[in-house]
Chain A
């Protein structure tokens, strides 16, 4: 089955601890994204990557870091600098990045990781 997987489904973090959320896709998509969702709010973009070894900050990148060493993988690290990390984190991918010659394509989402700070 082609799709996007995220792990773990639930994650608990202690104060001052860094944690890493996994996102893997086997859709052969170029672009990958990380969003944060808070209760009753829309999704906000944290980081996105258009191609391997390249990534750009979104609206709320402070306290987060990413890497894109492989096309299939786009892990997100929530650092201790993120003051309010409790949220639902969603990873997405699309065939080609926004603004590319192939135009904008649909974004497809993983099942999410719920992060709670203890």
Chain B
């Protein structure tokens, strides 16, 4: 069964810093990987979806990569801003029998002004 891990659980950085959030998964047969942002008490906002045939996706200051062979995905945030403060979740979809998104527990990011 697919397991998704996000380390660290919490991260604080000063404004303007570039940062990387990590996501690892156990099943290399992962089909797609999606990154989400969640503000306190709110639903999830989809940030980026990486399809199985892709290695990375970019949207504005965000870049997500997927390396299936190593079981890792990273979310790169450039020139961080206080408004980026939120919990970031990754979720993987395996083409195996589960056929469902498996979520990591998230990294809570705080960008200090």
Contact = CB atoms under 8 A, between A and B. Distances in A.
Given A42-B106, A109-B43, A111-B42, A104 B100 contact: no
B100 A48 contact: yes
A42 B107 CA distance: 10
A99 B105 contact: no
Nearest to A9: B41
B4 A109 contact: no
Given A58-B100, A106-B34, A107-B34, A112 B105 contact: no
A98 B46 contact: no
Contact of B89 (A6, A42, A48, A98): A42
Interface residues of A, number: 28
B28 interface: no
- What bracket does the count of chain B residues touching chain A fall in? 20 to 34
A88 B101 CA distance: 18
A51 interface: no
Interface string A100-118: 0001111111111010000
Contacts of A104: 31-32, 51, 93
A99 B99 contact: yes
B105 A41 contact: yes
A43 interface: yes
Contacts of A109: 36, 43-46
B71 interface: no
Interface of B: 4, 9, 31-32, 34, 36, 41-46, 49, 51, 89, 91, 93, 95, 99-106
Interface of A: 4, 6, 33, 40-45, 48, 58-59, 88, 90, 92, 98-99, 103-112, 114
7 contacts: A40-B9, A43-B44, A43-B89, A103-B51, A106-B46, A107-B91, A110-B43
Given A41-B105, A43-B44, A58-B100, 4 more contacts: A40-B9, A40-B105, A107-B34, A111-B42
